[in-house]
Amino acid sequence: MEQLLSGLRAAGEPTRLRLLALCAYGELSVSELTQILGQSQPRVSRHLKLLVEAGLLDRFREGAQVYYRIAERTEAAQLARTLVDLLPAEDTELNRDLVRLDQVKQKRADMAQSYFRENAEHWNRIRAMHVPEAQLEKEFLDIVGEAPISDYLDIGTGTGRLLELLARRTERGMGIDLSQEMLTVARANLERAALRNVHVRQADMYNMPVPDKSVDLATLHLVLHYSDDPGAVIEEAARVLKPGGRLVIVDFAPHSVEQLRTEHQHHRMGFDDEEIETWLAQSRLTSDITRDLQGDPLTVKIWQGTLTQAATH
């Protein structure tokens, strides 16, 4: 009862209700919210603090910026969504806010497109060395299957493509990446697709801000070769899996394309089945799927490890 009353008191003010509505459309920084509302940053920050304390908004830091989005896991999360759904669609002030929100999103999209243009040649050179993306995605989706996913984590999310692919069957999805530039691209892509159930965070794959035993599916898509300690990455991914949860790894088989190390910062020149299976076993994951996608000169491998019920005791 007290949690409900606290949430209603926090939301029961015009500016805070506007903030709640805006943060339901995606994650926004303090400066972006200040720009949309046309109010001072100290005032907006005070309102945001109250909404976070009441459990209606989530707060997280990314570099110099602090972002906010509607809460997902707090006791007040359902209340937050209910209040937003009750807002009248014809409200003049809310619609003005949404117009300014579109302008903020367009600015983000422009920044993302600029970064993408600068790096497109780099990515295209690597893609040309292995099977087409469409074939790889088809194999990946076949392994993931059609069953609904409650909680999904994409480690090293990059452009957020896997979050897009799995959003329709996922209740909650999060992608993490260290690169702020890549997160800008991912946010723009998710906003363009109007996906509100998936989001991204800046985080280190060796030490993720994710609770133990909280994820049904985790993925490492063409990420592990950047790691100088792949076993530690797999161990950290296993930590967050629920009993029966799965880790799907997509990466290269052993190869001799030296330019990937010298020009593209790949720490590892691919992986063989034995070392991946060893790391999975050390993290109490049972290796149950292995697939090969032959390319020239790179072969892509897909491995799946499952955390069995017995491994959690």
Instruction: Say how far apart CA 209 and CA 101 lie, in whole Å.
Output: 28
Residue 283 lies in a domain: yes
135 and 237 in one domain?
Answer: yes
Name the domain count of the chain: 2
Let me know whether 65 and 133 are in one domain.
no
Are the beta carbons of 299 and 254 closer than 8 angstroms? no
What percent of the chain is predicted at pLDDT more than 70?
95
> Is residue 225 included in any domain, yes or no?
yes
> CA 118, 120, 123, 124 torsion: positive or negative?
negative
**245 and 139 assigned to the same domain:** yes
- Res 22 pLDDT > 90: yes
Residue 113 maps to a domain:
no
Domain of residue 48: give its range: 2-101
Parallel, antiparallel, or unpaired for β 285-293 and 300-307? antiparallel
Which of 82, 101, 120 is where one domain is finished?
101
Strand 170-177 relative to strand 149-155, pairing: parallel
Q: What is the pLDDT at residue 123?
A: 66
- Which amino acid is residue 277, in one-letter code? E
Can you say whether residue 304 is alpha, beta or left, with left for phi > 0 and alpha for psi between -120 and 50 degrees? beta
- Residue 140 covered by a domain: yes
pTM, to two decimals: 0.81
What does the pLDDT look like over 140-157, one tens digit per residue?
Answer: 999 999 999 999 999 999
Whether 298 is in a domain gets the answer yes
Question: Is residue 164 situated within a structural domain?
Answer: yes
Residue 115 lies in a domain: no
Distance, in Å, from the CA atom of 242 to the CA atom of 188, rounded to the nearest integer, reads 30
Residues 152 and 271 reside in one and the same domain = yes
> What are the tens digits of pLDDT across the range 96-122?
999 999 999 888 888 767 765 676 566
Is 124 within the bounds of a domain? Answer: no
Helices 14-23 and 2-11 cross at an angle (nearest 10°) of 100
pLDDT beyond 90 at 65: no
pLDDT on residue 47: 96
Q: What are phi and psi of 252, to 5 degrees?
A: -90, 145
Say which CATH number the domain at 166 has.
3.40.50.150
